[in-house]
Structure 1
Amino acid sequence: MRIWTQLAVGVVVLAAGGAAFIHFVPAAGPKLVAAGVPQNLVAMLAPSEAEKSDGARGGGERRGQNPGRGNQTPLVVTEAAGTALVNDRLNAIGNGEAILSVTVTPLATGNLTEVLVKSGDQVRQGQVIARLDNEEQKIAVDQAKVALAGAKDKVERNRRLGNAVSIATLREAEFAEQAAELALKMAELDLTRRDIVSPSKGIVGIITVNPGDYVTTASAIAVVDDRSQILVDFWVPERFANKMTVGQDVEAVPVAAQTQTLEGQIFAIDNRIDQASRTLRVRAKLDNPQDALRAGMSFAVTARFPGDVFPTVNPLSVQWSADGSFVWRINGETSERVPVKIVQRNSDKVLVDAPLAKGDLVVTEGVQRLRNGGKVQMANRAAPPEQEVSQAATADVNAGGAR
């Protein structure tokens, strides 16, 4: 091929490329003139106004552009940013127990002679609920009384004799009297320990022993529960550890009676996080004036907090680049790129950490041809949504830890 033919082909290719560049790239003509291309040549390659109008009418809507302005002003659909409240409440499942629960055991060993209460009885503190055989202890008390009486009589005789008895003899008799008094107290204590008493008030549980059974100090006679108040233990994720305070109000709903909502307060907070479940043990206290609650019941506990407010955007508006996620915000008639950090993704909203205010217009459609600071035309103007509470922001845990 001759050199002139090659040059002609090259000129044709360059001309075609320049025409395509001018046709598809906005503001390409001024850029070519600035690069040194003759202005008359650019005018020859640029499409006429009629062609632009025809092209805009034929494909403007398909490309999401403004038919009146050609390819230079993208047409976008926007939606106003909203706000959502997260971390404002905690739902957990807890286990209930009586405010005071005591397993009554004997203070001595022996055979039971009688059981004075039955299951379900209300007992008071110090009430005798059972007795062991005590004949031997009664005899020991009587013997101690006789010995004490003899010791006192001896002391009185020595005192009446006066100087006829030495001081040492008198002191010996007085020491014997004191020893007899101590022996009597010990015998009476042993007799008292044959009575099995309740150390607290409450309701007696099922009694598993009967008269005639031989029991030791490790034998359980009965379980007494004071259920005037119920303690509910539940576990919270460690991110809520610093938000829980003693005295904080909570709501508890018995799982067995979900129509009943009870008010209570945080009673105690553990001093460490469980390393296996990464949860913190918290104890709430509920009043039980009607005695409707039982130890061992399960409760759905709800604790509320001020929460954190984050902007929300439509999931379609979130874009990604090498620098991370971002959205396009409309500022007047121009587009502005705003970096965002996704906090929580829901089906209809995305919670983001970004400098967005409620009501800011965020582009949801037509994002492909936007550039920072570029002109845009909005196809709609959405009204700002009301503040909403993100349902997925509730932390749900159960009695075994976070789930």
Structure 2
Amino acid sequence: MAGAFLAWVFLAPGAQETLADYGITLPFTPAAEPVVGNVQVPGPGAGPRPGGPGAAGPAGRFGARAVNVTTTPVTLATVNAGLIAIGEGTAVRSVTVTSPSGGTLEELLVLPGDLVEAGDVIGRLDSETEQITYDRARLAAEDARVTLERQQELARSSLVATSALAAARLAADTAELELRSAQIELERRNIVAPISGIVGLMQVTPGNYLAAQTAVTTIDDTSAIDIDFWVPERYAARIEPGMSVIVSAIALPGRNFAGEVSATDNRIDPASRTLQVKASIPNEENLMRAGMSFTVELGFSGEEYPTVNPLAILWSAEGSYVWRYEGGTATRVMAEIVQRNSDGVLVRADLQPGDAIITEGILQLNDGMAVNLLDGPDGTSAVEAAEAATDAADS
């Protein structure tokens, strides 16, 4: 143990200075050598020491040796400035057309892909029975109307009792209701488009018997496309209706479409921790279809953070930190890591763009220690450099 201690005292750089800090002075410590100008002159009997020309030289065993370092500049990076999500398109309105009543399908009046307007007849069921019922109700209504008119003429001449006139009026009203009922039943033999849009594939063919509410086809209003997509919950407070979005479809390479957020869900999905969002995209050219897969891009203001070289990050009990080069010395700066990337680490720290961050020689540094800069910026930040340039121009 004594031999190791002596070896440390005489061979380790700065060992005797360390002992002196603790109040320990060795009696055989070499005498300080006088300094003439900027040159240290060996004292009497002093010979060259192993490993260097003198104790005060950069390579001397008892002098403080400045650490050689290299630096890289601080840059700025923006995060959370955009979001890309995958969504599925649906028609702004879509309905499944069903048979309003039971019966045999006699004909279809449209083909898949046809554009129809709301109220257009797209198919007909057999209607012979309903037509007969309607005709009978129409004749009964006409007869009741004629009877009522005759009773009204007689009543004006006081040739009929008031009760007979009231009975004739009731019969006419009842016949009118029967006619309207028969007309509705006859109209229900037509299959009508409830909205305007494009007809889909037919689910039935003429000759089939259709029960009431049997699906016949679908009609999609694709004048606009609604896209449902999901975003991480950290964006929930930043997305609101009216925000602009840009979408592209795998089926339409090279084409981008603009739209806006039309609605957001009122809760976060607890399983995926995501929020469902709906965007509406105009489809004037009718290129987009329901069911397409879309890439949705949203833009945000973003957050800017200083970015340092990954090699500059060190850790202590207080957390992560970096060494900043300032005027020939190393200064310790606490740097909380925000995001790690392959080419840089985003940190939350008191750093400015252009600050010189030490990346080599960092394991030998102490706060305020003098260092020799071998390569990299000299520690003048971009802000300071701009101010210096302005002062020079003014002078």
Give me the TM-score of the superposition, normalised by structure 1: 0.81
Q: Compute the displacement of 1:195 (Å).
A: 0.8
- Residue equivalent to 1:6: none
Letter in structure 2 aligned against 1:369: Q
- Residue equivalent to 1:319: 314
Q: Compute the displacement of 1:70 (Å).
A: 5.0
Q: Compute the displacement of 1:249 (Å).
A: 1.6
Q: Mean Cα displacement is larger for which, 285-294 or 22-31?
A: 22-31
- Residue equivalent to 1:129: 122
Letter in structure 1 aligned against 2:286: D
Query: Are the structure 2 counterparts of residues 49 and 72 from structure 1 closer, same or farther at C-alpha, using a change threshold of 3 Å?
Result: farther
Tell me how many residue pairs correspond in the alignment: 366
1:342-376 superposed Cα distances (whole Å, 9 cap, x missing partner):
12112221111222211111111111221122222
Q: Percent identity?
A: 40
- Residue equivalent to 2:52: 54
1:29 to 17, 27, 30: 17
Unaligned runs of 5+ in 2: 34-41, 383-395
Q: Compute the displacement of 1:44 (Å).
A: 5.3
- Structure 2 counterpart SS, 1:257: coil
Distance 2:160 2:192 in 1: 49
- Residue equivalent to 2:132: 139
Distance 1:284 1:169 in 2: 67
- Residue equivalent to 2:293: 298
1:330 to 325, 331, 345: 325
Letter in structure 2 aligned against 1:113: E
Q: Please say if residues 32 and 42 of structure 1, whose CA atoms lie closer than 8 Å, have aligned partners that are also in contact.
A: no
Distance 1:201 1:254 in 2: 25
- Residue equivalent to 1:357: 352
1:68-122 superposed Cα distances (whole Å, 9 cap, x missing partner):
9953422211111111111111112211122222211121111111111111212
Distance 1:49 1:106 in 2: 114
Give me the TM-score of the superposition, normalised by structure 2: 0.83
Unaligned runs of 5+ in 1: 1-9, 61-65, 387-403
Q: Compute the displacement of 1:30 (Å).
A: 7.9
RMSD of aligned residue pairs (Cα, Å): 3.1
Ranked by relative contact order (alpha carbons within 8 Å, sequence separation 6 or more), the top structure is 1
The answer to whether residue 105 in structure 2 is matched with residue 97 in structure 1 is no
1:172-216 superposed Cα distances (whole Å, 9 cap, x missing partner):
332222222121111111111111111112211111211111112
1:11-62 superposed Cα distances (whole Å, 9 cap, x missing partner):
xx59x84783475354843862772637x644459997953871799xx9xx
Q: Mean Cα displacement is larger for which, 291-300 or 170-179?
A: 170-179
Q: Please say if residues 29 and 42 of structure 1, whose CA atoms lie closer than 8 Å, have aligned partners that are also in contact.
A: no
1:343 to 327, 338, 342: 338
Q: Compute the displacement of 1:147 (Å).
A: 2.0
Letter in structure 2 aligned against 1:317: A
- Structure 2 counterpart SS, 1:29: helix
Letter in structure 2 aligned against 1:244: I
- Structure 2 counterpart SS, 1:273: coil
- Residue equivalent to 2:152: 159
- Residue equivalent to 1:278: 273
Distance 1:33 1:115 in 2: 103
- Residue equivalent to 1:370: 365
- Residue equivalent to 2:235: 240
Distance 2:227 2:243 in 1: 14
Query: Are the structure 2 counterparts of residues 366 and 138 from structure 1 closer, same or farther at C-alpha, using a change threshold of 3 Å?
Result: same
